[in-house]
Amino acid sequence: MINAIQIRRGMVIKIEEKIYKVLEATHVTPGKGHALMQTKLRNLKDQTLLDYRFRSKDKVEKAFLEKIEMEYLYQSGDEYIFMNLENYEQIKIALDIIGDAVNYLIPNIVFLIERHEGKPVGIEPPQTINLKVIKTAPFLKGATQTAGSKPAVLETGITINVPQFIKEGDIIRIDTREDKYLERVK
Give the tens place of pLDDT for each residue, 118-130.
Answer: 888 888 899 999 9
CB atoms within 10 A of CB 40: 16
What percentage of the chain has pLDDT greater than the value 90?
40
pTM of the model: 0.70
Do residues 145 and 125 make contact, with C-beta atoms less than 8 angstroms apart?
no
Distance separating alpha carbons of residues 44 and 42, to the nearest angstrom: 6
Q: Which of the four CATH numbers 2.40.110.10, 2.30.30.30, 2.10.10.90, 2.60.40.680 does domain 2-62 have?
A: 2.30.30.30
- What single letter denotes the amino acid at residue 16? E
Where would I find the H helices in the chain? Answer: 95-98
50-59 residue pLDDT tens: 999 998 888 9
Average pLDDT of 122-146? Answer: 80
| Same CATH fold assignment for domains 2-62 and 66-124 | no
- What CATH class is the domain 129-185? mainly beta
Task: Report the percent of the chain where pLDDT is more than 70.
Answer: 95
Domain positions in the chain are 2-62, 66-124, 129-185
